[in-house]
Structure 1
Amino acid sequence: MPLPVEAAVFALIGLLAGALALLVVPEYFPMARGLTVGTALASALLSGLVSRFTLTGDLLLTLAVTVLCTALLTSVLARPDLAAAARRGNHRRRRHAA
């Protein structure tokens, strides 16, 4: 498969991974939505190209490695600690000096 076609497939994987992360667990990603989708897109393109040149010839393995790396790198942004604190209602209160 030619490189531009594979790059488009990698970009599609990244966009789907970012959208899926925001749809499934939006409370884990409190930052801007563009950051999550952009990170997923960049990680899919980068990991796809690296795996394409490393695993020459095996398209299914390249796509599997791309999906795995994209999921792992997108999950770096997740903040489950903030989501758990919001559910429990534990908000830190500051004491201001009078």
Structure 2
Amino acid sequence: MVLETFAFALIGLVVGAGALARFPEYFAGRALTVSTAVVAALLGGRLTGYVLDEGGAVVQFALSALASALLVSVLARPDRVRRGSHRRHA
């Protein structure tokens, strides 16, 4: 149980850091993005563990990463990104 919790936190860190590395202009704060990813991964992993009766570790890890990615995507603000002059103005 302790190792699973550590693995879920690590999954959250990877998802948060990956989102910041791939789309840094979409997120307002680094700490908010990473902490949301970690908390979502922990909650998603624990909830999945309770539903599956601690069986299926691969499914738990996959759903933990999915929950983390979904909640981090809520924080993304692509409408605030400034685009170059290639945008057409009507």
Length-normalised TM-score, structure 1: 0.81
Which one-letter code corresponds to 1:53 in the other structure? Y
- Residue 51 of structure 1 corresponds to 48
Cα RMSD of the aligned pairs, angstroms, is: 1.1
The structure 1 residue matched to 2:9, chosen from 2, 8, 11, is 11
Tell whether the 8 Å contact from 1:14 to 1:44 is kept in structure 2 after alignment: yes
Length-normalised TM-score, structure 2: 0.88
Contiguous gaps of at least 5 residues in structure 1: 90-98
Equivalences for residues 1-98 of structure 1 within 5 A: 3-29=1-27, 31-56=28-53, 57-83=55-81, 86-88=82-84
Equivalent pairs, count: 84
Tell whether the 8 Å contact from 1:55 to 1:61 is kept in structure 2 after alignment: no
Q: Which structure is larger by alpha-carbon Rg, 1 or 2?
A: 1
Contiguous gaps of at least 5 residues in structure 2: 86-90
User: Which structure exhibits the higher relative contact order, with contacts defined as CA atoms closer than 8 Å and separated by 6 or more residues?
Assistant: 2
- Residue 92 of structure 1 corresponds to none
